[in-house]
Amino acid sequence: MAARGRKKGADGEKSRNLLLHIAAEEFSKNGYHETKISTIVRRANVTQPTFYLYFQSKEAIFQELVDIFREQLVAYVQQSRLETGLEKGSIEKEIKQRLTNLFSFFKEQSELTRIGFYMAKESSEIKSLIAYQIEQNLRKEQQDGYFRTDVDMQTVADSLVGIMERLTETKLLKNLIEPEDLANEIVRLLLFGMIAN
């Protein structure tokens, strides 16, 4: 006996992906320090040295997940900007669409989102990245006369990120609301304010 050595049909890429996937689940559910490599490999039905065949360290696999989140997010934002830029509806519709896209992304990639937003060392920078993109868009539209000139777009962008972050946590990832409805509420609030008229 002593089942040792390479297994029949063993596929490195498959193993690596599996480990990455399970790691995302674990990190997202339990955080960095509570997540044990031993748990990951047990769940993946491989042994510890196999893990280190594909990842340099625990740090490394976590970082890889953070990087994936950041890259996917940036790509999504870029693409989203192109798409919505085309069909030039009202400013309200356009912003609504952008927000809906973002929320959809967060919902689809809920595990990566939790990691990138709430656990990574660079969480703050990642959020700043998004905030900056948003700020640029808003500034442009402000110059085009859509918005009041006395609001600081950096603050607005930061606020928007804060809103997204919090509502993603309290409502979106708990499946209490759909991306589009969430986007709707926020846009109405930020565009027109709360004051009765």
Task: Using CB under 8 A, list all residues that contact a second copy.
Answer: 32-33, 124, 127-128, 131, 145-152, 155-156, 158-159, 161-167, 169-171, 185-186, 188-197
Residue 63 CB neighbours (<10 A): 16
Tokens representing residue 47 in the block:
């042994």
Q: Quote the Cα angle for 78-118-134, to 5°.
A: 30
How many binding residues for DNA (CB under 7 A)?
A: 29
Rule CB under 7 A: is residue 59 a binding residue for DNA?
A: yes
> Which listed range, 1-9, 85-93, 114-122, 171-179, lies at the site for DNA (CB under 7 A)?
1-9
- Tell me which amino acid residue 70 is: R
Mask 128-167, x = binds DNA (CB under 7 A)?
A: ----------------------------------------
CB of 34 to DNA, least distance (A): 8
| Contacted entry of a second copy, DNA, none for residue 13, CB cut-off 5 to 8 Å set by kind | DNA
| Contacted entry of a second copy, DNA, none for residue 52, CB cut-off 5 to 8 Å set by kind | DNA
In contact, 88 and 146? CB cutoff 8 Å:
no
**Could you say which DSSP state residue 56 is in?**
S
Cα-to-chain-centroid distance, residue 151:
27
Taking alpha carbons only, the member of 11, 7, 26 closest to residue 115 is 26
Tokens representing residue 173 in the block:
């990832």
48/136 with CB nearer DNA: 48
**Could you say which DSSP state residue 7 is in?**
P
Mask 32-51, x = binds DNA (CB under 7 A)?
A: ---xxxx------xxxxxx-
Rounded Cα distance, 93 and 101, in Å: 12
Please report, as ranges, the residues that interact with DNA according to CB under 7 A: 2-15, 35-38, 45-50, 52-53, 57-59
